[in-house]
A and B are shown apart, each in its own frame.
Chain A
């Protein structure tokens, strides 16, 4: 028991450090969160990351970080569920498809250049999008990235207020394009799995509360922004938390049916992004 106090202190310190890392963006460098770090920490195959597909997570400037922002959602960030959700999803992707995917994720920024440039990763995943903010150059780059053939999947934001703030950023990217509901007829739900029976995929809170929604996001919404040819450029998963489902898929307490749908949805979105 004499060790209880030092251990508690150590755990507390570790927890605070992790929290700080998760809530701030400016404090991170590529060395800390970029490929190099992941290559060091990940012991799986193909560590050098030379694969056809790289799961790319968008790192954006969250509202409130660095003293600015909207004053809401301060505990959210681009790195929610990161990196476990990403890696568990990649395991499923590799196992269930012929996509040669890199086992470790890639963090991309809208101001990156060189080999890390977002244009080298035509599929990108963003979470907690109600906190994102763009500068004009970033919004322009995202818009052109999508119009040239890039694909954006947005996940883990809930309720009317989150939607409103998500749209603040989205309207900077596409001021004139409308968000529309994706229906069973949309090819994105059939490209690999036929996903006509979809339901709300809850976050990890379901394990402790049995509640599938967060905030006032009672009904799951599959929405999208399409290009002039009707191809989905932005796939919006509102009122659901697929990232948590991937992250907690190995937890026996988290229902398999949610994890299963989350994987299938994610795989379909990746497959759609690689074919349309």
Chain B
């Protein structure tokens, strides 16, 4: 219809420039159009007194508009309008036809596989039509781009496990530098599993003005499917830790039904929970809690059990790697007076094989009682005053101790312990804690996640009940029951605290996990915050021990809470070397970049260390690579490597300085081929439309693709000629010339003025 009315394909107007071929100046046209409009307006207005009362209103405006449009159209035609458009020269240009040959293209969702539909579309006249005007080059695109001589090659080849539209197009754009490629036709479902198309690729096509026409195959929405979007879990954990994985997924066709969500380590089910599926297309987030188990590299499989009628079951599961560490973590607990909280915290932590408490308790004015020390010299002189004595701990707990107990040097050391060393720091409530201990007025007030009240007398030996905030209900520290709503209810039923302390107001960026109520007053109980490389928290009570004494003997609430809180405090405390990769899961592409943050014994960035990565992989793969320092970031080292084979890889990064080992760290990653292709199996129309729109091409549905050969000619790439398309003889012009006066005549007749 468009071409019938406008004589030329839509591409002519989309890509061409409007020109006026008449010799008269353009300003004259504008002037005459304005004059015609004004003249007609004056004429109608002057005739208004004699006109019928029926048209002395907006109807006169309509008449004026129709007359003015006719006059303007006639004037425009006198200036001879035309479109100047670049057109590919016949037989001198190449059209690159790229057919996606990845595994997702063998999905049958319209009576035939997507690849068969693509081949059928090309064989249905498109290739022949293109061949009459251009040279046609056929390519198959999967993990890499390869040229094929005929479509049969496509039919006979096995599908590849991966698609990298971005990489393939980049390769094609590079090839276009030496060839007169006029346009690219991409037949695909848009399922790209290498991160999409980057701006570089698009700009390469744009700079060469090569339009990419995309033809989309596959259903945009799979009717019956459950797909996991992501599973977020900490890449490192301590042995026997309670881990929380946040799993997001969506579904089509199963709204309201029940499904089983599980996490497995190998064949062993670690945790499972039945969930009710949300509405079609809605992203649903669920949390699974499970025990990390013993030390080692874990490949955890998160899955939603397949439902009846599901066509693609391979996207119901994702794998994630977790490095479970067994290195001991030590917490220094400083307590200013004997109190029950001290005893029961120590008891709660005694079952923890990884985290241990080293405590110093001021029993009398001149005596410190030490527990959990590794040797008789440890803490013999009281709280450490040197980096080498304090920084070996992973966290500090400060109980009922006045800030004045610490020397200025010790205070500075505590600040550096959190900021530079990355340790955890927990303040407990007590009669010498927080505001009552003078902490708010000290230089360590910055460390606190709260702004303390500016007064004394904030500690009260009165009962307070506890409750969780919405954030706390879903937080690993305060998680006693898996279901967040159930967890919040469980906390409400906990025995009251023996005492409480007013902790003031949370700072911006701090997270309040739990609150307490005394009388009618609600106050923060547990507040956490990240500070520098470390983390700090306030637990504004010294009375959680009642959770142990006042509940049934089999209840483990007190132990669980304290173990979770203290593990949070130490888990992310880094060592001297911290190795990382951007993503632990490599899908179909083995390229990996290692980074390492290296610190010296004082935890200052070490810029002149010798850093190596030792890699062990499947089938005896072993490599040792030197990491190079980043000139812009002292203490940071990088290295690139390619994992050639699918499988799990273990990497140990070591750092030495003058033959002294600074530290070492272990990380794991895995290359998985053919997995990503199982996800997002519906047509990614958004990607295809974006690609064509950015490059000046067009997105086509398979049923419209027969018109592609006529439109593809209009391109500025390759060898082109500039063609002038006159517009005066378009059918639409003739229709308008007829329609405008006819409409006026009909209206005048209707309104009674003829």
Contacts and interface: CB of A to CB of B under 8 A. Distances in A.
Contacts of B583: none
Contact of A120 (B347, B364, B542, B550): B550
B338 A122 contact: no
B365 A119 contact: no
A182 B498 CA distance: 33
Contacts, number: 81
B554 to A, nearest CB: 10
Interface string A101-132: 00000000000000001011010000000000
B461 interface: yes
Contacts of B338: 52-53, 97-99, 271, 274-275
Contacts of B371: 275
A99 B550 contact: no
Contacts of A98: 336-338, 362-365
Contacts of B320: none
B609 interface: no
A149 interface: yes
Contacts of A50: 461-462
A144 interface: yes
B340 A122 contact: yes
A52 B337 contact: yes
B337 A275 contact: no
B344 interface: yes
A276 B343 contact: yes
B553 A147 contact: yes
Contacts of B346: 275-276
B485 to A, nearest CB: 29
B548 to A, nearest CB: 6
Nearest to A190: B369
A97 B339 contact: no
Nearest to A97: B364
Given A122-B340, A191-B369, A117 B364 contact: no
B47 interface: no
Contacts of B361: 275
Contact of A274 (B343, B431, B498, B549): B343
Best-buried of B338, B343, B365, B546 by chain A (most CB within 10 Å): B338
A145 B553 CA distance: 8
A192 B498 CA distance: 26
B217 interface: no
A53 B343 CA distance: 13
A122 B340 CA distance: 8
B549 A122 contact: yes
A50 B542 CA distance: 13
Interface residues of B, number: 31
A153 to B, nearest CB: 15
A51 interface: yes
B395 to A, nearest CB: 20
B255 to A, nearest CB: 48
Contacts of A122: 340, 343, 545, 549
Contacts of A120: 498, 546, 549-550
Given A229-B350, A275-B346, A275-B361, A52 B340 contact: yes
B342 interface: yes
A150 B553 CA distance: 12
B367 interface: yes
Nearest to A192: B363
Given A120-B546, A275-B338, A100 B365 contact: no
A253 interface: no
Interface in B285-339: 336-339
B550 A119 contact: yes
A148 B343 contact: no
B553 A99 contact: no
A99 B342 CA distance: 12
Given A51-B461, A274-B342, A275-B369, A149 B347 contact: yes
A13 interface: no
Interface string B538-572: 00001001101110110000000000000000000
Nearest to A101: B338
Given A149-B343, A275-B343, A100 B337 contact: yes
A148 B558 CA distance: 11
A149 B362 contact: no
B343 A97 contact: no
Contacts of A99: 337-339
B337 A119 contact: no
A91 interface: no
Nearest to A275: B343
A14 interface: no
Nearest to A151: B343
Contacts of B362: 98
A20 interface: no
B359 to A, nearest CB: 9
Nearest to B359: A275
A144 B369 contact: no
A119 B344 CA distance: 13
B404 to A, nearest CB: 15
A144 B554 CA distance: 10
A150 B343 contact: no
Contacts of A273: 343
A96 interface: yes
Contact of B369 (A148, A149, A229, A271): A271
A195 to B, nearest CB: 14
B549 A149 contact: yes
A152 to B, nearest CB: 14
Contacts of A150: 549
Interface string A74-103: 000000000000000000000011111000
Best-buried of A119, A145, A274, A276 by chain B (most CB within 10 Å): A274
Given A98-B336, A274-B339, A192 B369 contact: yes
B542 to A, nearest CB: 8
A98 B339 CA distance: 10
A149 B548 contact: yes
B549 A148 contact: yes
A147 B347 CA distance: 11
A147 B364 CA distance: 28
A148 B361 CA distance: 22
Contacts of A51: 461
Interface in B340-389: 340, 342-344, 346-347, 350, 361-365, 367, 369, 371
A51 B546 CA distance: 15
A230 B361 CA distance: 21
Interface in A142-163: 144-145, 147-150
B2 to A, nearest CB: 83
Interface in B686-719: none
A148 B350 CA distance: 13
A271 to B, nearest CB: 6
A119 B549 contact: yes
A271 B75 CA distance: 106
A260 B468 CA distance: 49
Contact of A97 (B344, B350, B363, B542): B363
Contacts of A52: 337-340, 431, 461, 542
Given A96-B364, A191-B369, 5 more contacts: A117-B550, A119-B549, A120-B549, A274-B343, A275-B371
In the complex, the 10 A-B pairs of residues with the closest C-beta atoms, listed nearest first: A50-B461, A119-B549, A98-B337, A274-B338, A144-B553, A99-B338, A52-B339, A119-B550, A97-B364, A192-B363
Interface of B: 336-340, 342-344, 346-347, 350, 361-365, 367, 369, 371, 431, 461-462, 498, 542, 545-546, 548-550, 552-553
7 contacts: A120-B550, A145-B549, A149-B343, A149-B344, A150-B549, A274-B342, A276-B346
